[in-house]
Structure 1
Amino acid sequence: MSVLRSRAVYAAAVCAAVCLLATHETEAYKTFQRKVPNGGNVPGVEAIGHERAGGGPNNDFGLDFIEAMFKWTKTFCEKDSDGDGQTNGQELGDPCCEFEFRANEKVRWTEGVSHPGDPALKSDPKLWEGIVCGADAVEPEAPKVAEPVATEAVTEAEATGPKAVAEKEIEKKEETVLQAAVQGEAGTQQEKELTAGAPALHASVMLSAIALTVMAIYVVVMRSGRRSRSLPIFRQQRRGPK
């Protein structure tokens, strides 16, 4: 009964670990989608930075994303992660690398995006054929309107207001999810090794317990034999009749 109970407890612990890891990975995938342009609009792909559509090991795009510290930088945008001749920005609808998470979530198109981690999938070059990057910068500036100077009290209230606090909390949660995703592959591999080694470990423990039991019985028998030989009746038998 104790062996069955220990096995049940071990199985429950493994299931709980797997469920927790799966939850972290699902949340991480959604966070990654928001941090890149059109991250959730790639057809048939939920985990854009992984080899399989639903997850698995990181592909070249995912590795470059990790190298960029999970940020859509200009260098990362202009890079061709899958080597298909199109930049990551061109495949994700941001040919001019204008997208910035939360600050400027602007994309040139949402339909026709392709997978930047799969060289077999490419976008139609006509999508960015007539786009001149930097054109927005030469537009005439709107006349500036003088704004009242904010007092220190108002500035401090805006900086520490409920909205700012909420955004900081969201940032902390996202960083936790991202760290869990980076360590997800290593954790999954360790879990597989632990699960695979469990039967061998259990068998080794059982054999050790049996060996210790046999040794204990042997010691008890030997001690009992020695004590029985030291009794007076055995001494008389050894000496023989007088």
Structure 2
Amino acid sequence: MSIINFDFMNFILNPFILLFITAGLGLLFGKIQFGKFNFGSSGALFVGLLVGWGAYTLAQRIYETGDENAAGMSAATQIMESNGGNVINTLFFSASLIIFVATVGLLAAKDLKAIIKKYGPKFIILGFLITLVGAGGTYLSTAIVKDTNPFAVTGVYTGAMTSSPGLAASLEAAEDRADDMAQNYPQLSQEEKEVVVSVLKTDSKYADLDAGELTELTAQQQTDFVNSAVSQVGIGSAVAYPF
């Protein structure tokens, strides 16, 4: 008689389970009143940060044991290898984002004709101005304030603009830029090398790295840098979004 072997770790690291947990806890957290303020649906963002951090940390610890029979090893390998360190598969993320953006467009479409008829091109021009002013302000801030993390700042900009398509574009651009920086690390300027090292240092295992001594990135460091850079965009967006 065969007995069903239920792997709780694989279950809890399943992306669908993580999404349901995050959504449920996020809604509960969003209803908590802090004086006259609550996070509302944005609570899911902060819960997502905690759940994502916890899931990644758990997957990393399981993966680093190297024990193929360890509980959760299948899900941990999926996250660390197939997903490139992302708790949620990139294709799944992109598909969900497309559905979200399409839904917003369909909901807003019914009012588009009435708004254009009533206000003319004013809102269209205003939309461009808000985007450009935000971009200009972000650029000036990074020029004035040194030692900023460009990946996190990019996320803060898209989050402050509450732009989901902007976040998707930023994540894609950050991944391409980070990959290019990792591949060509020896040719980077000293300032760019310091950016790379500062991003790597967000992972505790690289706490002792020194940009002045690091001449080349290992394959693992390159992968970790790209993953951390993309994560910084997401963190910046999540922090800025509710405000």
TM bucket (normalised to shorter chain) is under 0.3
Answer 1 or 2: which has greater helix percent.
Answer: 2
TM-score normalized by the length of structure 1 = 0.23
TM-score by length of 2: 0.22
Greater relative contact order, per chain length (Cα 8 Å cut-off, separation 6+): 2
